[in-house]
Structure 1
Amino acid sequence: MNEILDILGVVLRFLPRLVDSASAQSVCRHRCAIGRSQVLPPPLPLLALPKFRFSSLSGRRGLTSARRIIPMPKEVASAADLRCVGSCEGWLAVVNESKDHCFLVKAFSPEVVQLPQLSSYFNPSTSTSKILPIINGFSQVTEVVRFNANGRYVLPVPKVVLSSSLDSRSKYIVAACSASEDFEPQLHIALWQPGMRSWHICDGYILNGLKDLAFYKGKLYILQRSQPDLYAFELEEGDRGIVVSRVECCMSMLNFPHPLQLGIVGGSMSCNIVVWRGLLLLVIKYYGDRYPRHKVLRVRVFALDFSRSPCAVTMIHNLGGDCIFVSSNGCRSFPASLHDTVEGDLIYFIPDYWSPYDSFVYNMRYGRKKHFPVKLLSCDFQLPEDVIDFPLWLFPFRCCCTANLNLRVFG
């Protein structure tokens, strides 16, 4: 029996795509035992397209031509106006705009976690608020963040990130923010954790505009997409749920080369943050012109060192064989070096709110970019940005998702 499992384990290592692994299980009753006896590399990421269609990344730096519909719970399957706004370790954050609902769905299973509604009325008996000055801010007199617990709010259709997987034993935190680029006062950062009845809201001038979020070493880091201004929000658990206790400006545009310093006249920047091997990385795309914004001239990656204030930055030229996947709804590193058929040191960019036409793979070792085909199906760029359903990356667990996986192929 052990020899059979060893042989099957070797075979499955050459099947990095989730659909291939699931197919192997459908004809092999020993498949589940392999996961318990051997440590298999995680399956390759899936690209979640509009209308809950998924494409698998292949080992040839492309996507499978066949797109698949994954069985979803009734809350998802029965609604017509749902959008995926985030993902974490096999879980999808989903918004039902017409019903003001937001919930977490575990892909390949019927599990659903309801989140608070996207709007709430003011309750003076439970509402509390405080003003937090920004440490090391540009102007400590005027730069503040207002934190409101259990108060009135109207949260626009958000992007969502999680501090950890719902399958972990830690008490996870959900952070949401508007995905719009408009500079309006109602844009917020919203926080929630299990046990809370409503979102807790942060607002302030630094939170306006398009942002990227990442949980790193117990803090929530918020980055301005148009320039690398990075803020660290220290979080504490109070008697009414998660609260923000301190806000610090960790770095600003002054720490990085301006487009003009790279010889890019009239250029602009698009920034993202991602956790990689215990470090927080900053990924910057440099554009030749602001409009149109689909001409990327440079890509730079920096490792951030928070032992100094402002944080120290070091440009890096490889990922140790790993890959980075970038989208509007969060970024993620992936141990591509565990797969023999997958090339490492690549960054996969897909269309997002900042650059709806960007779709390419950047090779960090050689400083080259190559086209990465992503068909968005029903995504119509003539529509307002707040209703466009952009794709996002999903990183499923091999052991938890193949047991009930039944993929229906179309297209």
Structure 2
Amino acid sequence: MAAWSDLTFDVLEYITSFLPLPDRYRFGAVCKNWRSVSKQRRHPPAPQLPWLVLEDAKETNKRKFYSLSEAKHYSLDVPELHGRYICGSSHGWLFVVDLKITGILINPFTRECYELPPLPAYNERINVTTLIEKVPDDYNGGPIGLTFEEIQPRYIFKAILSHDPKETSDFTAMILFGEMHESAFWRPGDSSWTVIDGPRGSMDDILYFKGNFYAVSPRNKIYVVDFEPEPKLRKVGPKIPLENGVESCGIQRYLIDFNGHMLLIERTYKTDEKARCITDGFIVIEPKLEQNCYNICYDIDGYALFLGRNACIHVDSCRLPKCKKNGIYFTHPNESLSPKKFGFHDLGVFDMTDKTMGTFYSVDVFFPCIDSPVWITPNPW
């Protein structure tokens, strides 16, 4: 039997394709030769569970991450994330903004990044008076003490990418921003964001699906983005009734590309004994755009979904036994300015099989007002 040190580069590289991210880093720490092998990506990476991006560590300013598969925290030194607000994640990249609403796309595992232009006429799209009124006076037992500049990053609701920037430079970033969750896009080389003309009212989520961007409104209406001749949202697909006639205040909607099928997921809320808004359950719907009809889904074929400010993720639980089959993992999605009052504690996993709610992280954890946890699929290659 050959010694490990005598294994060829190709064999070692093939072995690394079976390793999740932490083990791949450990593999690379063995020696200089193995380190160079660990940085290659000739084979598809091993399937892995998403990580949670948490807050800055006060002592070191390193960013905390939580590995779901290991139930373990890691602190990564990513200076570009310090003090910035995370608005979304997609293909292993984070969309982060500072207090001046200038943003970057960054891969926190490689620190590759793109600088993004400021949002167009951003302050003109926010009612400052209304915004300040939303800030509670009793935050953490005293005045919240936040300025308008500190508040406004929270009004970038979500951001996604069409493609992984490491695989192609021909990608598009799409965001929902402002009080009405307007949509805008940016491509490498553009000097500014282009706002997309759309119907009155906000959008709950956006999705890149089979070559097009889609959005869903609080009334379960689905829109496709037409880029030519002028960017606009155009309604498509069937009319999907609201659950119990409830509109946006009681339901949050998500769109996901689920193995080539579009799914619309309704997240319902209830008020607990402390008057906090917490997740009550999920309803999964498959809109059939071409047939102009829809189906209600009662399971997701043993997969698990990960919802939040990220581009929604699905993983095969059969290949990743440490996650719940037919489970919907969720993080706090709201724009609440008082997590102490309204609940960044709202993290959990919903079992679609028996309709029960469970936990995957301490319900007593408190996240600072600057950020809420965001799912990300590690992409260090």
Instruction: Kindly report which structure 2 residues correspond to 1:213-228, keeping only aligned pairs within 5 A, or say none.
Output: 213-224=206-217, 226-228=218-220
Give the alignment partner of residue 363 of structure 1, picking from 351, 354, 357: 351
Q: Secondary structure at the match of 1:27?
A: coil
The answer to whether the aligner puts 1:327 opposite 2:311 as a matched pair is: no
Identical aligned residues as a percent: 21
The answer to whether the aligner puts 1:248 opposite 2:235 as a matched pair is: yes
> Cα gap change, 1:194/1:343 in structure 2, threshold over 3 Å: closer, same or farther?
same
What is the rounded CA distance, in whole Å, between the counterparts of 1:110 and 1:4 in structure 2?
A: 26
The answer to whether the aligner puts 1:49 opposite 2:54 as a matched pair is: yes
Deviations 1:30-55 (A, max 9, x none): 47648667655233211011223211
What is the rounded CA distance, in whole Å, between the counterparts of 2:325 and 2:23 in structure 1?
A: 21
Structure 1 counterpart of 2:92: 90
> Cα gap change, 1:341/1:252 in structure 2, threshold over 3 Å: closer, same or farther?
same
Structure 2 counterpart of 1:294: 278
Instruction: Kindly report which structure 2 residues correspond to 1:185-224, keeping only aligned pairs within 5 A, or say none.
Output: 187-208=181-202, 211-224=204-217
> Cα gap change, 1:40/1:201 in structure 2, threshold over 3 Å: closer, same or farther?
closer
> Cα gap change, 1:322/1:5 in structure 2, threshold over 3 Å: closer, same or farther?
farther
Q: Secondary structure at the match of 1:24?
A: helix
Equivalenced residue count is 327
> Cα gap change, 1:20/1:308 in structure 2, threshold over 3 Å: closer, same or farther?
same
Amino acid at match of 1:304: P
> Cα gap change, 1:376/1:366 in structure 2, threshold over 3 Å: closer, same or farther?
closer
Deviation of the 1:295 alpha carbon:
5.1
> Cα gap change, 1:358/1:253 in structure 2, threshold over 3 Å: closer, same or farther?
farther
What is the rounded CA distance, in whole Å, between the counterparts of 1:175 and 1:93 in structure 2?
A: 10
Structure in which a larger fraction of residues adopt strand: 1
> Cα gap change, 1:46/1:295 in structure 2, threshold over 3 Å: closer, same or farther?
closer
Structure 1 counterpart of 2:299: 318
Q: Secondary structure at the match of 1:393?
A: strand
Q: Secondary structure at the match of 2:358?
A: strand
Give the alignment partner of residue 379 of structure 1, picking from 345, 367, 375: 367
What is the rounded CA distance, in whole Å, between the counterparts of 1:352 and 1:249 in structure 2?
A: 26
Q: Secondary structure at the match of 2:268?
A: strand
Compute the RMSD of aligned alpha carbons. Answer: 3.5
Deviation of the 1:283 alpha carbon:
1.3
8 Å contact from structure 1 (residues 347, 363) kept in 2: yes
What is the rounded CA distance, in whole Å, between the counterparts of 1:48 and 1:396 in structure 2?
A: 11
8 Å contact from structure 2 (residues 197, 231) kept in 1: no
Deviation of the 1:369 alpha carbon:
2.1
What is the rounded CA distance, in whole Å, between the counterparts of 1:173 and 1:11 in structure 2?
A: 31
What is the rounded CA distance, in whole Å, between the counterparts of 1:198 and 1:211 in structure 2?
A: 23
Q: Secondary structure at the match of 2:27?
A: helix
8 Å contact from structure 1 (residues 50, 377) kept in 2: no
What is the rounded CA distance, in whole Å, between the counterparts of 1:175 and 1:8 in structure 2?
A: 35
Structure 2 counterpart of 1:277: 259
8 Å contact from structure 2 (residues 209, 257) kept in 1: yes
Structure 1 counterpart of 2:327: 346
Any gaps of 5 or more consecutive residues in structure 2? 1-5, 57-62, 123-151, 336-342
8 Å contact from structure 1 (residues 337, 343) kept in 2: no
> Cα gap change, 1:108/1:50 in structure 2, threshold over 3 Å: closer, same or farther?
same
What is the rounded CA distance, in whole Å, between the counterparts of 2:347 and 2:305 in structure 1?
A: 14
Give the alignment partner of residue 234 of structure 1, picking from 226, 232, 240: 226
What is the rounded CA distance, in whole Å, between the counterparts of 1:168 and 1:270 in structure 2?
A: 32
Any gaps of 5 or more consecutive residues in structure 1? 122-153, 261-266, 401-411
Structure 1 counterpart of 2:23: 20
Deviation of the 1:322 alpha carbon:
2.3
